[in-house]
A and B are shown apart, each in its own frame.
Chain A
């Protein structure tokens, strides 16, 4: 159990800086997810915390003590690897016990811990099997078990679910979240899958090019993304963006006009923009809804999933939009439709990609769509 604190963490590979001064505090017991596109430095950051990569600059504190110079083993962390990294020549039991044997723990204590972990992760029938005789999900559980038996201060997960099929991924997601609820340790989890991040995290850290773009609770990131990158990254399908010009502002929001001269309202704080300024309007697909008074679009593709439908449409100015509708739709490819957005669902971003603060959150009104 420990708080993890990163102060100005930097990583250089030769002359190339891949992590640029990351400051972050992960409170004790938090499930923290690092998310970002590939190459954003999230795995490097995790490996630096683990002690598998040298820290080029800054301080890493675990439980209040600076651990920069400690070896991986001394930091009291456990890591679950993307490839599971189970020792192929050892049985499941030996895999679980290896870390404990290395610290010369008593045989009886090792056996007790292995049994306990195996019970918790339902691995008892497989204890004497080799990893290659296990399925993907079972291997994953062994990898988690190997971390659990060590009773670490902090658990580190490096994209642990990316090798599993979709169905198994959902159930393992639940198991890892359940594990966190049961043992309550600090966990740091790296993924590129924003669904995993949204469903499991207490705190999401969005990274890009070795910098933190935004850190906060999942819903906070969804509701108030600080820039277009976070807005585009969190939420699925991606947020729609449409270039607009500011034509007016008052205390309830701003008025925008698109290239066709159509007028839109957005409930955002307009104090930092000037009339006539070019901005980017952001609309989540789930916040677009058919409305005869709305924006005219041409439907290019329809995906009907039964309970929900996705519309891929194009506006008259050629901007591609995605709309997510609940229920089924009678719209077909090539037909014309009208879509509308409520002002309190609109996001507005300046040219430098930063967001204008939203004044009202439409999502909070019972969480329902209009």
Chain B
């Protein structure tokens, strides 16, 4: 792995192309991974650290100290310059550009320090409460289950229906085949917002509002999926299907035992797409799911963001947890995409 990552064009020293390649790749990694890394680090910050400006990358929390005679804990500061340079003081209050501070060891004496002369004392503090709170204070598992159920069921049905449609369009000759296919493709040109209202009317007439099926049913027939699978199935040789028919296989068995397994790479792509679509879907669930126990994760995330106040720590923690499953699905399935394309018993 290391050998692979450090291979270069120049033999002993870095070639010009190496500089460009590593520079470009480094920029790409920074752009792609940077925000995610920041998100993960921030999700472990305390609410106070999140409010801090300018923001820090690491989950550093300002430190406080209990001082006799004060009801609340006082923030600790290190004085870096001026009269009291080198001392660690606690801030009582801030007045304009000056801060009134005391030495915790000597609580009687009030000291005036210019705010530019002091720096807050920080320590790394991992706030796991952000995560545990999701389970105790919010019904995270409920949302997680809703999202998972919708994603899994919709993906299974999407793959099943799309592959059957694609099989018929790719491998059967019938009048109007091209027309049907073009009609399916043509629906890609209709923006989803146009069908939003009619779709809502249908779904509400069927009494599906606030049921996960309201999200699942409208989503399973995807033109992209049919197109993707059909194009892939066209590459499966007809001879294989004929051979299976000679082998007494019914049309269903031809589909189930021959065409479906051989379409695995295309199915993997569709599964990844479908999981991403359903997991990340926001607008449609927002419309049809309006009771909080029916919420998906995306809707729950949205509900953290109030009009006046946003629970950033919970929001970030839940965002991280929301990202995890889809990352795992992708990591697991991506090898299937490339694998098996070369798989062919036909010379």
**Which of B240, B248, B261 is most buried by chain A, counting CB atoms within 10 A of its CB?**
B248
B247 touches A99 (CB 8 A): yes
Give chain A interface residues in 75-97, CB to chain B under 8 Å. Answer: 77-79, 81-89
Q: In the complex, how many angstroms separate the beta carbon of A90 from the nearest chain B beta carbon?
A: 8
Q: Is B262 an interface residue (CB 8 A)?
A: yes
Known contacts A85-B239, A89-B262, A98-B257; decide if A79 and B246 are in contact (CB<8 Å): yes
Contact of B243 among A79, A89, A103, A136 (CB under 8 A): A79
Known contacts A83-B237, A83-B239; decide if A89 and B343 are in contact (CB<8 Å): yes
Q: Is A260 an interface residue (CB 8 A)?
A: no
> Measured between alpha carbons, how far is A81 from B253 in the docked complex, in Å?
20
A84 touches B253 (CB 8 A): no
**Chain B residues within 8 Å of A132, by CB:** 343-345
> Measured between alpha carbons, how far is A134 from B242 in the docked complex, in Å?
22
B345 touches A88 (CB 8 A): yes
B246 touches A77 (CB 8 A): yes
Q: Is A317 an interface residue (CB 8 A)?
A: no
Contact of B245 among A72, A83, A139 (CB under 8 A): A72
Identity of the chain B residue whose Cβ is nearest the Cβ of A97 in the assembled complex: B247
Q: Is A366 an interface residue (CB 8 A)?
A: no
Contact of A85 among B240, B249, B250, B253 (CB under 8 A): B240
**Chain B residues within 8 Å of A212, by CB:** none
Known contacts A102-B253, A103-B248; decide if A85 and B242 are in contact (CB<8 Å): yes
Identity of the chain B residue whose Cβ is nearest the Cβ of A52 in the assembled complex: B242
B246 touches A98 (CB 8 A): no
Interface SS, B side: helix
Q: Is A219 an interface residue (CB 8 A)?
A: no
The bracket for how many chain B residues form the interface is 20 to 34
A81 touches B345 (CB 8 A): no
Contact of A81 among B242, B250, B257, B258 (CB under 8 A): B242
Q: Is B347 an interface residue (CB 8 A)?
A: yes
A87 touches B345 (CB 8 A): yes
Known contacts A88-B262, A89-B261; decide if A98 and B347 are in contact (CB<8 Å): no
A98 touches B244 (CB 8 A): yes
B347 touches A163 (CB 8 A): yes
Q: Is A131 an interface residue (CB 8 A)?
A: yes
Q: Is A73 an interface residue (CB 8 A)?
A: yes
> Measured between alpha carbons, how far is A15 from B257 in the docked complex, in Å?
36
> Measured between alpha carbons, how far is A72 from B242 in the docked complex, in Å?
9
Q: In the complex, how many angstroms separate the beta carbon of A30 from the nearest chain B beta carbon?
A: 21
Q: Is B1 an interface residue (CB 8 A)?
A: no
Q: In the complex, how many angstroms separate the beta carbon of A188 from the nearest chain B beta carbon?
A: 13
**Chain A residues within 8 Å of B253, by CB:** 102
B246 touches A50 (CB 8 A): yes
**Which of A71, A81, A130 is most buried by chain B, counting CB atoms within 10 A of its CB?**
A81
Q: In the complex, how many angstroms separate the beta carbon of B251 from the nearest chain A beta carbon?
A: 10
B248 touches A73 (CB 8 A): yes
Give chain A interface residues in 130-151, CB to chain B under 8 Å. Answer: 130-132, 136, 139, 146, 150
**Chain A residues within 8 Å of B239, by CB:** 81-83, 85
B347 touches A102 (CB 8 A): no
**Chain A residues within 8 Å of B243, by CB:** 79, 81, 85-87, 146
**Chain B residues within 8 Å of A78, by CB:** 246
B244 touches A83 (CB 8 A): no
> Measured between alpha carbons, how far is A50 from B248 in the docked complex, in Å?
12
> Measured between alpha carbons, how far is A47 from B250 in the docked complex, in Å?
18
Q: Is B31 an interface residue (CB 8 A)?
A: no
> Measured between alpha carbons, how far is A139 from B345 in the docked complex, in Å?
8
26 sampled A-B residue pairs with Cβ under 8 A: A50-B242, A52-B246, A72-B242, A72-B245, A73-B246, A78-B246, A79-B242, A79-B246, A81-B239, A81-B242, A81-B243, A82-B239, A83-B237, A83-B239, A84-B346, A85-B243, A85-B345, A85-B346, A86-B345, A87-B258, A88-B345, A88-B346, A89-B262, A89-B343, A98-B247, A102-B250
Chain A positions near chain B (C-beta within 8 angstroms): 47, 50-52, 71-73, 77-79, 81-89, 98-99, 102-103, 130-132, 136, 139, 146, 150, 163
5 more CB-based (< 8 A) A-B contacts, given A72-B242, A98-B244, A98-B257: A85-B346, A87-B345, A98-B247, A99-B247, A102-B253
